[in-house]
Amino acid sequence: MSSPSAEMQTVPPAAAQLAINTIRTLAMDAVQQANSGHPGTPMAMAPVVYELWQEFLNFDPDDPIWPNRDRFVLSAGHASMLLYSMLHLSRTKAVNPKYETLGEVSVTLDDIRRFRQLGSKCPGHPEYRLTSGVETTTGPLGQGVATSLGMAIAARWMASYFNRPGFEMIDYRVWSLCGDGCMMEGISSEAASLAGHLNLSNLCWIYDNNHISIEGNTSLAFSDDVATRFLAYGWNVARVGDANDREMLARAYHVATRSDRPALIIVDSHIAYGAPTKQDTSGAHGEPLGEQEIRLTKRNYGWPEDAKFLVPDGVYDTFAEGIGKRGHAAREAWMGKFRAYQAAYPELADHLYRMQHRQLPEGWDKDIPVFPADAKGLATRDSSAKVLNAVAKHLPWLIGGSADLAPSTKTRLTFDGAGDFSAENPAGRNFHFGVREHAMGAILNGLSLSKIRPYGSGFLIFSDYGRASIRLGALMEIPVIYVFTHDSIGVGEDGPTHQPVEQLASLRAIPGLIVMRPGDANEAAEAWRVIGELRHEPVALILSRQALPTLDRIKYAPASGVAKGAYVLADSPGGDPEVILIGTGSEVPLCVGAHEKLTAEGVKARVVSMPSWELFERQDRAYRDAVLPPSVRARVAVEQAAMLGWERYAERHIGMTTFGASAPLKELLKKFGFTSDAVASAAREEIRKAQGA
């Protein structure tokens, strides 16, 4: 993608300064009116972002989702008014959930007046989906820069898949503005290390080096030589000594676009308000300036002191003549090229369209296997591996990998041509995240936001390391796939450090995240069928290390019931049970064994497989009551995990109340009560209680 030269200036200096001060005053006024927010960074970084957007960012405000746009990520999410001001002044258009560009602007002046208020498109931190032009939700520091890495990786992979001679359809760049807090968070180190390893020359982080955090000067806790650190990571590092020096900023941006490595631009800044000696050294970083300080600052800018939310004449035109005209021309050229691309490469053009609209290719699920009944069975990590490979062959933009655990999580794509993603081979579909669970989650978010269908895997116990990224994926409603194996005390000898107990309850507590724990090979296959169709929900697929019997689906209900979250797997004659046994994952076979014992005794027992609470709760009341009749009070829920939450479905729980232990699996199952005999005994007791009530 072409970039302006360092000397290029499309706007007269006076008009540019007026636009910059408009960004600053909108931020000051919005934070003051809300009596909440962070005015400092938007004021200091206004020239930095203005120069980037006006002269370098390939972004069309009239179509903020065209596929080859540059991405701008505000990792310093507390500086949200900086982004809202840019979206407003550039007149960025709103886009609806059907990917249709609307005539109205994404951020109105009224939205800015209602900054941080209910219903405004300007919440406290930028939120994807809510505000068009926001590329990712940010706020937790470090998440934005790590997510930007996923976007840059997506560009590399998409270029390798879609580009053809004469048709460079994908070559966008990713820019991210970060601050001291982002640099302190460990996730940024994970991401920067991997970006350098992959030579992601389409990635640039702009570091606001203002030495300020909430508690005061960063010298309290942070004395890194950031430049040397990033040089060690393999980055190109530049420094701009004054955030107001637009000429030096332009030179730094120009160098970044020509770098053969990821680029870090360190921008030194401080925030001077109305009084020339007053700097942002404490509270003003995270609180309004106050009316008097705002008046003094506006006087210093030559601004009407009593004017609020003022956009002077000519400012909108300044942005229209800069990013508006340049971005529109870039987008129109791309669309013209795409029409020719459709004629020359119709299948690739169809894939690009489907990918951007989160649609699936025809026949994506045609090779999903059906597993024969087998008492010995398979670990669900093994059956999942077969299904993943069957699906990925027909879904080219399904790519992913593991946090250094693919041999254990069985998530490697093994068919011909899959390959490993690397600096030398960006076409590879197997990704190596290294031992970086937190960054992996953010990278997956960035890949998904770029419309790749990503998956990442690890042990369930280590989901805790990436929980913040998982949560943001759910908040953004993007279809990231997490494959977590080693799902219980079934890990055995590895002991309690590796045996998840509270993780299932913790993941189920995240709104919008679908948790699926299949009970045999065919449930794992059906889980992938459900996952493939998801467009707005992330999913955590929870799989076993140990083999689970593959149930005879002639004797038991079809595994297609997985799509409804829970289904009657085995029932009593006449379907009028005395007791209901509810299981997930490796505990479904225990419930089936207990059912056979109880049936032999003449007890009317029902087995319900419940791989997903979330999918079950989406069903109508009639279906849920048919599976779990309210009249049947004798119920036993069985899961090798903390039982928090199961009380909604059953009063009797067989689960974990402590951490696990290091021992062979069979000994652990006996110690903690996970046997068919124990389940049958609990069922009998619940029947007696219900009858005596």
Report residue 214 as tokens: 């909430």
How far apart (Å, rounded) are the C-alpha atoms in residues 590 and 605? 13
Cβ count near 401 (within 10 Å) = 27
DSSP output for 136-155: S---STTHHHHHHHHHHHHH
Dihedral (Cα; 590, 594, 596, 598), 10-degree rounding: -170
The residues annotated as belonging to the active site are: 437
Cβ count near 166 (within 10 Å) = 9
Beta-carbon contacts of 387 under 8 Å, excluding residues fewer than 6 positions away, are 368, 369, 524, 525, 528
How far apart (Å, rounded) are the C-alpha atoms in residues 449 and 137? 10
Buried b / exposed e across 96-115, counting CB within 10 Å, b at 16+?
Answer: eeeeebeeebbbbeebbbbb
How far apart (Å, rounded) are the C-alpha atoms in residues 488 and 506? 14
Buried b / exposed e across 266-278, counting CB within 10 Å, b at 16+?
Answer: bbbbebebbeeee
* 10 in Cβ contact with 272 (< 8 Å): no
Beta-carbon contacts of 17 under 8 Å, excluding residues fewer than 6 positions away, are none
How far apart (Å, rounded) are the C-alpha atoms in residues 663 and 568? 34
How far apart (Å, rounded) are the C-alpha atoms in residues 31 and 292? 14
Strand ranges, E, within 563-618:
567-570, 579-583, 605-609
How far apart (Å, rounded) are the C-alpha atoms in residues 557 and 579? 18
Residue 99 has φ and ψ, to the nearest 5°, of 65, 25
With 0-12 / 13-18 / 19 or more C-beta atoms within 10 angstroms meaning exposed / middle / buried, residue 417 is exposed
Cβ count near 8 (within 10 Å) = 13
